[in-house]
């Protein structure tokens, strides 16, 4: 646990402005300042009918924040397709008019620096940039590229890559940690997101974010950088936690775990990790800096192979949703916090409505009930083992009938082919649990069972939590059935994860307040 609330890194939050008019760009500069940006990047190549003499005067005279001026040509991924000398003259004019940073591409940097004696400027810092389309295969090759950029005499260098796998980002982190010149380095796309979020940990100079109402594809919002991730608090000692999943953009974990880390004074950050290959991922991210993981779709079962140890409950379930890297020896230890989270959420909902089978001595309000499970993956396994432990009889449906049969066998239940689900008639008072992605954003309108059968259930649980109230839950409510949102399961399993991640006790009420206000 460490003290927070003071600036512990030198990373600046930068907002790229890519508007078509000077007036819009000036307005966005003020908006960026209101939202907490440290500087803005003016993309001149996005302006329509750009007049350097006129428009640069307007932009730089009205700037409320430091600016980095970029005039990106098409040959480097930008929009400018005109005379090269005119482009470079505009950038030099921006320097003379008071821009704090001016960006030149590596291809032209050496000549322009020498020709205009830019090594001896005072008030303007020169950024030399390069975009690598398809990351160079060897770390040494990227290092050579960085060395070439350094040799130009730049004040800062900027390297942008297009990551095809999250493991490629380790090279970015290595460069950030070892570069002799201030470095801006990150990868684009969903697989590259953590290179942005973790830049402050490894020494990145800028981290980029979008302002409200003007989202730049592939960038986190400025609000999320400040409020969810707290990038100003991230430093070299920050422990990294994250959700291993595919896809991962739906995750609400960062807006729950990160504020809670800060609330208790724990120096950690929780990020979404789009993982394609588990083996490669664990081989690359061996550092103790990467201290623990949540595990999501579709990896809760497969990830067990990569755990050095598995907690007995998770072992019996056959699914892991939490991994902690043990401090003493670096071993990966797998746990399952889904099981108790989901079952206690269902039990508490039944108890709140007084539906306890009329017998207070029963071990659980679901004892003796039929527990109809849709989905035999990781979340489904947790639900079924929890239901079995409470004395319910489990009926399993899964699109993979062999998988359904295997799970039913493990919990002494029954497997029924998925095709029969639409006409399936449950026992009166049964519990329905959806553990499939059916109904998840953006395909929100589907439900896994026949709407006509919903009134036969006493309670309907949906593991999907985006949206908070799924179509299944809305239909069940309309049928007069008790509903339990996946948000409740998410909260409870997150409390268990937080305890495992930090070795402390989660502030449950604080976490519940976040869930109720943000989800």
Active site residue 33: no
Tokens of 251: 């995750």
Reference 435, options 452, 410, 455, 418; nearest CA is 418
Backbone torsions φ then ψ of 14, nearest 5 degrees: -115, 135
Backbone torsions φ then ψ of 440, nearest 5 degrees: -75, 145
Q: How far apart are CA 63 and CA 74, in angstroms?
A: 27
Q: How far apart are CA 347 and CA 471, in angstroms?
A: 22
Q: What is the enclosing helix (H) or strand (E) of 447?
A: none
Assign 256 to helix, strand or coil. helix
| Beta pairing, strands 482-484 & 370-374 | unpaired
Please identify which of the residues 201, 239, 252, 300 carries the catalytic annotation.
300
Q: Do 121 and 153 contact (CB within 8 A), yes or no?
A: no
Output the CA torsion 246→248→254→256 (10° steps). -90
290-295, strands of its sheet edge to edge:
268-274, 239-245, 290-295, 322-325, 332-335, 309-310
Q: How far apart are CA 139 and CA 6, in angstroms?
A: 34
370-374, strands of its sheet edge to edge:
414-417, 393-398, 370-374, 430-434, 457-462, 482-484
Annotate 341-363 with b (16+ C-beta within 10 A) or e (fewer).
bbbbbbbebbeeeebbbeeeeee
Tokens of 434: 């959806």
Crossing angle, helix 52-61 and helix 22-34, to 10 degrees? Answer: 20
Q: How far apart are CA 183 and CA 303, in angstroms?
A: 35
Backbone torsions φ then ψ of 73, nearest 5 degrees: -80, 160
Q: Do 79 and 71 contact (CB within 8 A), yes or no?
A: no
What residues act catalytically?
A: 300
């Amino acid at each position: 646990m460490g003290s927070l609330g003071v600036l512990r890194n030198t990373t600046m939050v930068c907002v790229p402005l890519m508007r078509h008019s000077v007036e819009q760009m000036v307005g966005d500069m003020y908006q960026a300042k209101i939202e907490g940006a440290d500087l803005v990047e003016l993309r001149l190549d996005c302006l329509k009918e750009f007049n350097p003499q006129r428009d640069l005067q307007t932009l730089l005279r009205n700037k409320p924040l430091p600016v980095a001026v970029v005039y990106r040509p098409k040959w480097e991924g930008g929009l400018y397709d005109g005379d090269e000398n005119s482009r470079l003259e505009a950038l030099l004019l921006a320097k003379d008019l008071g821009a704090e940073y001016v960006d030149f591409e590596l291809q032209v940097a050496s000549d322009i620096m020498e020709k205009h004696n830019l090594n001896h400027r005072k008030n303007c810092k020169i950024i030399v940039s390069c975009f690598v389309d398809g990351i160079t295969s060897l770390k040494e090759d990227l290092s050579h590229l960085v060395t070439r950029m350094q040799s130009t005499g730049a004040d800062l260098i900027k390297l942008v890559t297009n990551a095809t796998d999250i493991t490629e980002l380790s090279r970015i982190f290595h460069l950030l940690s070892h570069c002799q010149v201030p470095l801006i380095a990150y990868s684009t796309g969903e697989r590259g997101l953590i290179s942005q979020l973790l830049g402050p940990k490894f020494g990145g100079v800028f981290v980029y974010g979008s302002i409200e109402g003007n989202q730049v594809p592939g960038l986190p919002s400025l609000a999320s950088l400040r409020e969810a991730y707290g990038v100003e608090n991230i430093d070299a000692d920050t422990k990294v936690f994250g959700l291993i999943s595919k896809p991962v953009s739906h995750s609400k974990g960062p807006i729950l775990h990160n504020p809670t880390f800060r609330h208790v004074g724990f120096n950690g950050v929780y990020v979404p990790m789009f993982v394609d290959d588990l083996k490669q991922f664990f081989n690359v991210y061996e550092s103790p800096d990467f201290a623990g993981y949540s595990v999501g779709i579709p990896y809760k079962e497969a990830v067990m192979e990569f755990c050095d140890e598995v907690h007995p409950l998770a072992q019996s379930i056959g699914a892991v949703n939490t991994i902690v890297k043990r401090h003493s020896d670096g071993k990966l230890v797998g746990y399952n916090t889904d099981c108790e989270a989901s079952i206690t959420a269902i039990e508490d909902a039944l108890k709140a409505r007084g539906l306890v089978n009329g017998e207070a001595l029963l071990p659980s309000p679901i004892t003796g009930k039929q527990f109809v499970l849709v989905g035999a993956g990781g979340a489904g396994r947790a639900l079924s083992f929890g239901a079995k432990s409470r004395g319910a009889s489990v009926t399993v449906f899964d699109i993979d009938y062999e998988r359904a049969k295997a799970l039913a066998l493990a919990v002494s239940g029954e497997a029924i082919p998925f095709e029969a689900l639409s006409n399936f008639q449950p026992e009166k008072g049964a519990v329905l649990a959806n553990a499939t992605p059916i109904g998840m954003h953006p395909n929100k309108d589907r439900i896994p069972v026949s709407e006509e059968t919903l009134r036969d259930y006493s309670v309907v649980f949906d593991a999907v939590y985006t949206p908070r109230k799924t179509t299944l839950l809305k239909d069940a409510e309309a049928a007069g059935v008790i509903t339990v949102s996946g948000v409740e399961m998410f909260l409870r399993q997150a409390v268990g994860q937080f305890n495992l991640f930090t070795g402390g006790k989660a502030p449950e009420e604080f976490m519940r307040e976040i869930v109720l206000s943000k989800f």
